Chain A
Amino acid sequence: MRIAIASGKGGTGKTLIATSLAVHWAKQGKAVTYVDADVEEPNGHLFLRPTFEKTTRHTVPVPRLAGFCDGCAKCQDACAFNAIIALKERVQVFDELCHSCGACVNACPHNSLKLQPRELGDLRHGMAKNINFIDGLLDVGEARATPLIEGVVEAADGELVIIDSPPGASCPAVTAIRGADIAVLITEPTLFGVHDLDLAVQVCQKLNVPPIIVLNRANLGGDMMDAIKATGAPLVAQIDFDPQISVATARGELAIDVVPGFADAIANIADAIVVSEVVS
Protein backbone atom coordinates (compact mmCIF):
# COMPACT_ATOMS: atom_id res chain seq x y z
CA MET A 1 0.00 0.00 0.00
CA ARG A 2 1.23 3.49 -0.87
CA ILE A 3 0.11 6.21 1.51
CA ALA A 4 0.64 9.88 0.67
CA ILE A 5 0.71 12.18 3.70
CA ALA A 6 -0.17 15.62 2.39
CA SER A 7 -1.60 19.00 3.32
CA GLY A 8 -2.79 22.03 1.43
CA LYS A 9 -0.64 24.29 3.55
CA GLY A 10 2.78 24.06 5.14
CA GLY A 11 3.37 23.69 8.86
CA THR A 12 0.39 21.51 9.73
CA GLY A 13 2.42 18.65 11.22
CA LYS A 14 2.67 16.49 8.12
CA THR A 15 6.20 15.26 8.76
CA LEU A 16 5.43 14.61 12.43
CA ILE A 17 2.60 12.30 11.47
CA ALA A 18 4.38 10.67 8.52
CA THR A 19 7.49 9.80 10.55
CA SER A 20 5.39 8.65 13.51
CA LEU A 21 3.39 6.32 11.28
CA ALA A 22 6.63 4.85 9.93
CA VAL A 23 7.88 4.19 13.46
CA HIS A 24 4.53 2.76 14.52
CA TRP A 25 4.39 0.22 11.71
CA ALA A 26 8.06 -0.65 11.99
CA LYS A 27 7.50 -1.47 15.67
CA GLN A 28 4.80 -3.88 14.60
CA GLY A 29 7.39 -5.65 12.50
CA LYS A 30 6.09 -4.41 9.14
CA ALA A 31 8.45 -3.62 6.27
CA VAL A 32 8.04 0.15 5.97
CA THR A 33 9.55 2.60 3.50
CA TYR A 34 9.46 6.27 4.40
CA VAL A 35 9.88 8.66 1.47
CA ASP A 36 10.48 12.37 2.02
CA ALA A 37 9.20 13.95 -1.20
CA ASP A 38 9.41 17.50 0.15
CA VAL A 39 12.68 17.92 -1.73
CA GLU A 40 12.88 21.67 -1.27
CA GLU A 41 12.90 21.38 2.47
CA PRO A 42 13.26 17.73 3.46
CA ASN A 43 13.28 17.30 7.22
CA GLY A 44 12.15 13.73 7.82
CA HIS A 45 15.83 12.81 8.27
CA LEU A 46 16.06 15.12 11.27
CA PHE A 47 13.68 12.85 13.16
CA LEU A 48 14.30 9.38 11.78
CA ARG A 49 18.09 9.96 11.63
CA PRO A 50 18.90 7.40 8.97
CA THR A 51 22.38 6.25 8.03
CA PHE A 52 22.63 6.95 4.33
CA GLU A 53 23.98 4.04 2.35
CA LYS A 54 23.67 5.30 -1.18
CA THR A 55 23.48 8.79 -2.64
CA THR A 56 23.00 9.31 -6.36
CA ARG A 57 22.75 12.49 -8.36
CA HIS A 58 19.30 12.76 -9.89
CA THR A 59 19.13 14.15 -13.40
CA VAL A 60 16.59 15.40 -15.87
CA PRO A 61 17.10 15.23 -19.64
CA VAL A 62 17.60 18.48 -21.54
CA PRO A 63 18.50 18.98 -25.20
CA ARG A 64 22.06 19.76 -26.19
CA LEU A 65 23.50 20.35 -29.63
CA ALA A 66 25.55 17.34 -30.74
CA GLY A 67 26.06 17.90 -34.45
CA PHE A 68 25.58 20.21 -37.37
CA CYS A 69 23.37 23.30 -36.92
CA ASP A 70 22.44 25.80 -39.61
CA GLY A 71 20.12 27.85 -37.41
CA CYS A 72 16.96 26.68 -39.19
CA ALA A 73 14.97 27.22 -35.96
CA LYS A 74 12.76 24.14 -36.40
CA CYS A 75 13.54 23.21 -32.78
CA GLN A 76 12.54 26.67 -31.61
CA ASP A 77 9.22 26.44 -33.45
CA ALA A 78 8.54 22.99 -32.01
CA CYS A 79 9.12 23.96 -28.38
CA ALA A 80 5.87 24.90 -26.65
CA PHE A 81 7.70 26.38 -23.67
CA ASN A 82 10.10 28.88 -25.27
CA ALA A 83 12.97 26.91 -23.79
CA ILE A 84 15.20 26.68 -26.86
CA ILE A 85 16.21 29.38 -29.29
CA ALA A 86 18.15 29.02 -32.50
CA LEU A 87 21.11 31.25 -33.16
CA LYS A 88 23.26 31.35 -36.26
CA GLU A 89 25.03 28.03 -35.93
CA ARG A 90 24.00 26.86 -32.53
CA VAL A 91 21.11 26.77 -30.10
CA GLN A 92 20.66 28.09 -26.61
CA VAL A 93 18.59 26.09 -24.13
CA PHE A 94 16.99 27.67 -21.09
CA ASP A 95 17.13 24.71 -18.74
CA GLU A 96 14.78 26.23 -16.22
CA LEU A 97 12.00 26.51 -18.82
CA CYS A 98 12.55 23.09 -20.43
CA HIS A 99 9.96 20.36 -19.75
CA SER A 100 12.16 17.61 -21.23
CA CYS A 101 9.51 16.66 -23.77
CA GLY A 102 11.89 16.07 -26.68
CA ALA A 103 9.78 17.90 -29.28
CA CYS A 104 12.88 19.85 -30.36
CA VAL A 105 14.86 16.64 -30.78
CA ASN A 106 12.14 15.21 -33.01
CA ALA A 107 11.98 18.41 -35.03
CA CYS A 108 15.66 18.82 -35.88
CA PRO A 109 16.07 17.97 -39.59
CA HIS A 110 19.76 17.12 -39.07
CA ASN A 111 19.11 14.98 -36.02
CA SER A 112 21.65 17.11 -34.18
CA LEU A 113 19.91 17.51 -30.82
CA LYS A 114 20.33 14.92 -28.10
CA LEU A 115 18.71 14.79 -24.70
CA GLN A 116 21.43 14.80 -22.08
CA PRO A 117 21.23 14.53 -18.31
CA ARG A 118 21.30 17.66 -16.20
CA GLU A 119 21.76 17.31 -12.43
CA LEU A 120 19.05 18.57 -10.09
CA GLY A 121 19.94 17.21 -6.70
CA ASP A 122 20.66 14.20 -4.51
CA LEU A 123 18.57 11.07 -4.21
CA ARG A 124 19.48 9.39 -0.94
CA HIS A 125 18.78 5.87 0.32
CA GLY A 126 19.36 4.72 3.86
CA MET A 127 18.08 2.82 6.87
CA ALA A 128 16.64 4.31 10.02
CA LYS A 129 16.63 1.36 12.41
CA ASN A 130 14.43 -1.00 10.43
CA ILE A 131 12.74 1.66 8.33
CA ASN A 132 13.75 1.95 4.71
CA PHE A 133 14.49 5.63 4.19
CA ILE A 134 14.51 7.59 0.91
CA ASP A 135 14.68 11.32 0.37
CA GLY A 136 15.63 13.92 -2.19
CA LEU A 137 17.62 17.07 -1.68
CA LEU A 138 17.21 19.70 -4.37
CA ASP A 139 20.36 21.66 -5.20
CA VAL A 140 20.39 25.17 -3.79
CA GLY A 141 19.05 27.60 -6.37
CA GLU A 142 17.52 24.88 -8.56
CA ALA A 143 14.09 25.89 -9.87
CA ARG A 144 12.74 22.54 -11.04
CA ALA A 145 11.66 20.39 -8.10
CA THR A 146 9.12 18.18 -9.85
CA PRO A 147 11.49 15.77 -11.66
CA LEU A 148 13.34 15.07 -8.41
CA ILE A 149 10.06 14.46 -6.60
CA GLU A 150 9.14 12.01 -9.33
CA GLY A 151 12.52 10.37 -8.81
CA VAL A 152 12.14 9.82 -5.05
CA VAL A 153 8.57 8.60 -5.39
CA GLU A 154 9.55 6.11 -8.08
CA ALA A 155 12.56 4.93 -6.11
CA ALA A 156 10.27 3.58 -3.39
CA ASP A 157 8.74 0.17 -3.51
CA GLY A 158 7.69 -2.22 -0.82
CA GLU A 159 4.62 -3.38 1.01
CA LEU A 160 4.04 -0.23 2.96
CA VAL A 161 5.28 3.04 1.52
CA ILE A 162 4.71 6.35 3.32
CA ILE A 163 5.18 9.40 1.11
CA ASP A 164 5.73 12.64 2.99
CA SER A 165 4.47 15.00 0.27
CA PRO A 166 5.30 18.66 -0.32
CA PRO A 167 2.60 21.10 0.82
CA GLY A 168 0.27 22.95 -1.54
CA ALA A 169 -1.97 22.01 -4.44
CA SER A 170 0.32 22.69 -7.39
CA CYS A 171 2.70 20.50 -9.41
CA PRO A 172 4.99 19.30 -6.60
CA ALA A 173 2.11 18.06 -4.44
CA VAL A 174 0.36 16.51 -7.43
CA THR A 175 3.52 14.61 -8.38
CA ALA A 176 3.93 13.16 -4.89
CA ILE A 177 0.29 12.15 -4.44
CA ARG A 178 -0.14 10.67 -7.92
CA GLY A 179 -0.22 6.87 -7.86
CA ALA A 180 -0.86 6.56 -4.11
CA ASP A 181 -3.59 4.23 -2.85
CA ILE A 182 -4.75 6.68 -0.25
CA ALA A 183 -3.96 10.25 0.77
CA VAL A 184 -3.98 11.35 4.40
CA LEU A 185 -4.55 15.11 4.48
CA ILE A 186 -3.30 16.81 7.63
CA THR A 187 -5.05 20.05 8.47
CA GLU A 188 -5.55 22.44 11.35
CA PRO A 189 -8.70 24.22 12.47
CA THR A 190 -7.93 27.64 10.98
CA LEU A 191 -9.36 29.63 8.07
CA PHE A 192 -6.23 29.14 5.96
CA GLY A 193 -5.99 25.51 6.96
CA VAL A 194 -9.49 24.64 5.81
CA HIS A 195 -9.29 26.76 2.65
CA ASP A 196 -6.13 24.93 1.61
CA LEU A 197 -7.54 21.57 2.71
CA ASP A 198 -10.32 22.00 0.21
CA LEU A 199 -7.75 22.44 -2.57
CA ALA A 200 -5.86 19.34 -1.43
CA VAL A 201 -9.10 17.31 -1.55
CA GLN A 202 -9.65 18.54 -5.11
CA VAL A 203 -6.14 17.38 -6.08
CA CYS A 204 -6.90 13.90 -4.72
CA GLN A 205 -10.17 13.74 -6.60
CA LYS A 206 -8.46 14.69 -9.87
CA LEU A 207 -5.87 11.98 -9.30
CA ASN A 208 -8.40 9.37 -8.20
CA VAL A 209 -6.67 8.93 -4.85
CA PRO A 210 -9.20 8.62 -2.00
CA PRO A 211 -8.50 11.29 0.65
CA ILE A 212 -9.02 11.02 4.41
CA ILE A 213 -8.53 13.87 6.86
CA VAL A 214 -6.62 14.12 10.13
CA LEU A 215 -7.23 17.27 12.15
CA ASN A 216 -4.12 18.32 14.02
CA ARG A 217 -4.12 20.75 16.99
CA ALA A 218 -7.86 20.13 17.09
CA ASN A 219 -8.26 21.97 20.39
CA LEU A 220 -6.69 25.19 19.06
CA GLY A 221 -8.43 27.57 16.68
CA GLY A 222 -12.06 27.62 15.80
CA ASP A 223 -14.80 25.14 15.07
CA MET A 224 -14.22 24.08 11.51
CA MET A 225 -16.34 20.93 11.48
CA ASP A 226 -18.87 22.18 8.94
CA ALA A 227 -16.17 23.43 6.61
CA ILE A 228 -14.29 20.15 6.88
CA LYS A 229 -17.47 18.23 6.17
CA ALA A 230 -18.09 20.41 3.11
CA THR A 231 -14.88 19.16 1.48
CA GLY A 232 -16.55 15.77 1.15
CA ALA A 233 -13.61 13.79 2.57
CA PRO A 234 -14.05 11.85 5.81
CA LEU A 235 -12.42 13.11 9.02
CA VAL A 236 -10.89 9.99 10.57
CA ALA A 237 -8.85 11.25 13.50
CA GLN A 238 -8.10 14.28 15.64
CA ILE A 239 -4.97 15.13 17.58
CA ASP A 240 -5.04 17.72 20.33
CA PHE A 241 -2.27 20.24 20.74
CA ASP A 242 0.13 19.13 23.45
CA PRO A 243 3.11 21.36 24.23
CA GLN A 244 5.20 18.25 24.88
CA ILE A 245 4.86 17.30 21.20
CA SER A 246 6.15 20.71 20.11
CA VAL A 247 9.05 20.55 22.54
CA ALA A 248 10.06 17.08 21.38
CA THR A 249 9.75 18.11 17.72
CA ALA A 250 11.82 21.25 18.23
CA ARG A 251 14.56 19.07 19.73
CA GLY A 252 14.45 16.67 16.79
CA GLU A 253 13.07 13.89 18.98
CA LEU A 254 10.37 11.48 17.90
CA ALA A 255 7.28 12.49 19.85
CA ILE A 256 5.92 8.96 19.49
CA ASP A 257 8.78 7.67 21.64
CA VAL A 258 8.77 10.31 24.33
CA VAL A 259 5.31 11.82 24.69
CA PRO A 260 2.88 9.68 26.66
CA GLY A 261 -0.36 9.02 24.82
CA PHE A 262 0.91 10.15 21.42
CA ALA A 263 1.62 6.59 20.35
CA ASP A 264 -2.07 5.77 20.88
CA ALA A 265 -3.14 8.73 18.75
CA ILE A 266 -0.86 7.52 15.94
CA ALA A 267 -2.14 3.94 16.32
CA ASN A 268 -5.65 5.31 15.79
CA ILE A 269 -4.63 7.03 12.59
CA ALA A 270 -2.83 3.89 11.39
CA ASP A 271 -5.97 1.83 11.99
CA ALA A 272 -8.12 4.42 10.23
CA ILE A 273 -5.83 4.30 7.20
CA VAL A 274 -6.01 0.54 6.99
CA VAL A 275 -9.80 0.55 7.38
CA SER A 276 -10.30 3.31 4.79
CA GLU A 277 -8.08 1.49 2.34
CA VAL A 278 -10.11 -1.71 2.73
CA VAL A 279 -13.39 0.20 2.32
CA SER A 280 -12.32 2.01 -0.83
Chain B
Amino acid sequence: MKVAFAIEAGDGLNAQVCPNFGRAPRFLIVDSKDNSTEVLENKAAQEAHGAGTGAAAMISKHGVQAIVAGRFGPKAFDALSAAEIAMYEAPADQTVKTVLVQIQAGTLKKL
Protein backbone atom coordinates (compact mmCIF):
# COMPACT_ATOMS: atom_id res chain seq x y z
CA MET B 1 0.00 0.00 0.00
CA LYS B 2 1.18 3.50 -0.82
CA VAL B 3 0.46 6.13 1.83
CA ALA B 4 1.05 9.86 1.37
CA PHE B 5 1.88 12.10 4.32
CA ALA B 6 1.50 15.88 4.40
CA ILE B 7 4.79 17.04 5.92
CA GLU B 8 6.39 20.33 6.86
CA ALA B 9 10.00 19.48 5.92
CA GLY B 10 12.43 16.61 5.66
CA ASP B 11 12.33 13.56 3.42
CA GLY B 12 12.46 10.45 5.60
CA LEU B 13 10.30 8.47 8.01
CA ASN B 14 11.23 10.84 10.82
CA ALA B 15 9.51 13.82 9.16
CA GLN B 16 6.63 15.33 11.13
CA VAL B 17 3.04 15.40 9.95
CA CYS B 18 1.90 18.86 8.78
CA PRO B 19 -1.28 20.26 10.38
CA ASN B 20 -2.68 21.27 6.99
CA PHE B 21 -3.39 19.16 3.94
CA GLY B 22 -3.89 21.71 1.15
CA ARG B 23 -1.15 24.12 2.13
CA ALA B 24 1.37 21.53 3.30
CA PRO B 25 4.73 22.38 1.70
CA ARG B 26 5.36 18.80 0.58
CA PHE B 27 4.18 15.23 0.66
CA LEU B 28 6.11 12.10 1.54
CA ILE B 29 4.89 8.96 -0.20
CA VAL B 30 5.74 5.75 1.61
CA ASP B 31 5.38 2.33 0.06
CA SER B 32 4.56 0.04 2.98
CA LYS B 33 5.97 -2.99 1.14
CA ASP B 34 9.58 -1.93 1.61
CA ASN B 35 9.25 1.44 3.38
CA SER B 36 10.74 3.18 0.35
CA THR B 37 9.93 6.88 0.16
CA GLU B 38 9.44 9.57 -2.44
CA VAL B 39 9.07 13.33 -1.92
CA LEU B 40 6.51 15.39 -3.77
CA GLU B 41 6.62 19.20 -3.59
CA ASN B 42 3.11 20.59 -3.18
CA LYS B 43 2.81 23.21 -5.90
CA ALA B 44 -0.85 23.77 -5.02
CA ALA B 45 0.22 25.33 -1.70
CA GLN B 46 1.29 28.38 -3.69
CA GLU B 47 -2.06 28.83 -5.42
CA ALA B 48 -4.35 31.73 -4.58
CA HIS B 49 -7.43 29.52 -4.35
CA GLY B 50 -8.14 25.82 -4.38
CA ALA B 51 -5.00 24.60 -2.63
CA GLY B 52 -7.01 21.69 -1.20
CA THR B 53 -8.42 20.45 -4.49
CA GLY B 54 -5.12 21.06 -6.27
CA ALA B 55 -3.21 18.99 -3.74
CA ALA B 56 -5.86 16.26 -3.91
CA ALA B 57 -5.55 16.17 -7.70
CA MET B 58 -1.79 15.82 -7.46
CA ILE B 59 -1.95 13.08 -4.86
CA SER B 60 -4.53 11.11 -6.80
CA LYS B 61 -2.23 11.04 -9.82
CA HIS B 62 0.40 9.23 -7.79
CA GLY B 63 -1.62 6.14 -7.16
CA VAL B 64 -1.72 6.34 -3.37
CA GLN B 65 -4.39 4.54 -1.37
CA ALA B 66 -4.27 6.67 1.76
CA ILE B 67 -3.29 10.17 2.86
CA VAL B 68 -2.38 11.50 6.30
CA ALA B 69 -2.54 15.13 7.48
CA GLY B 70 -3.44 17.12 10.59
CA ARG B 71 -6.80 17.96 8.99
CA PHE B 72 -8.59 18.27 5.66
CA GLY B 73 -10.70 21.17 4.41
CA PRO B 74 -14.23 20.51 3.12
CA LYS B 75 -13.29 20.74 -0.58
CA ALA B 76 -10.19 18.60 -0.19
CA PHE B 77 -12.36 16.07 1.63
CA ASP B 78 -14.82 15.96 -1.28
CA ALA B 79 -12.03 15.63 -3.82
CA LEU B 80 -10.21 12.88 -1.94
CA SER B 81 -13.42 10.96 -1.26
CA ALA B 82 -14.28 11.12 -4.96
CA ALA B 83 -10.81 9.83 -5.77
CA GLU B 84 -11.39 7.01 -3.27
CA ILE B 85 -8.32 7.82 -1.22
CA ALA B 86 -8.63 7.02 2.47
CA MET B 87 -8.00 9.97 4.79
CA TYR B 88 -6.43 9.82 8.22
CA GLU B 89 -6.12 12.72 10.64
CA ALA B 90 -3.05 12.57 12.88
CA PRO B 91 -1.66 14.99 15.47
CA ALA B 92 0.75 17.37 13.81
CA ASP B 93 3.80 16.65 15.95
CA GLN B 94 3.88 12.91 15.28
CA THR B 95 6.41 11.39 12.94
CA VAL B 96 5.56 9.55 9.77
CA LYS B 97 6.96 6.36 11.31
CA THR B 98 4.62 6.37 14.35
CA VAL B 99 1.56 7.11 12.27
CA LEU B 100 2.41 4.41 9.76
CA VAL B 101 2.60 1.83 12.53
CA GLN B 102 -0.82 2.97 13.80
CA ILE B 103 -2.36 2.69 10.36
CA GLN B 104 -0.97 -0.79 9.82
CA ALA B 105 -2.13 -1.88 13.25
CA GLY B 106 -5.56 -0.47 12.47
CA THR B 107 -5.55 1.79 15.55
CA LEU B 108 -5.89 5.04 13.62
CA LYS B 109 -9.43 5.53 12.38
CA LYS B 110 -10.24 6.51 8.80
CA LEU B 111 -12.18 9.74 8.36
Contacts and interface: CB of A to CB of B under 8 A. Distances in A.
Interface of A: 73, 76, 81-83, 85-87, 92, 94, 96-97
Contacts of B53: 82-83, 85, 94, 97
A97 B60 CA distance: 19
B90 interface: no
Interface in B52-108: 52-54, 56-57, 60-61, 75, 78-79, 82-84
Given A73-B61, A76-B57, A85 B79 contact: yes
B50 A81 contact: yes
14 contacts: A76-B57, A81-B49, A82-B47, A82-B50, A83-B50, A83-B53, A85-B56, A85-B79, A85-B82, A86-B60, A92-B82, A94-B75, A94-B78, A97-B49
10 closest Cβ contacts across the A-B interface? A82-B50, A82-B54, A85-B57, A97-B50, A82-B53, A92-B82, A76-B57, A94-B53, A85-B79, A87-B83
Q: Is the interface of B mostly helix, strand, loop or mixed?
A: helix
Interface of B: 44, 47, 49-54, 56-57, 60-61, 75, 78-79, 82-84
**Interface majority SS (helix, strand, loop, mixed), chain A:** loop
Contact of B83 (A81, A83, A85, A97): A85
Contacts of B57: 73, 76, 82, 85-86
B78 A92 contact: yes
A92 B79 contact: yes
A87 B82 CA distance: 7
A82 B55 CA distance: 9
Contacts of A81: 47, 49-50
A73 B83 CA distance: 12
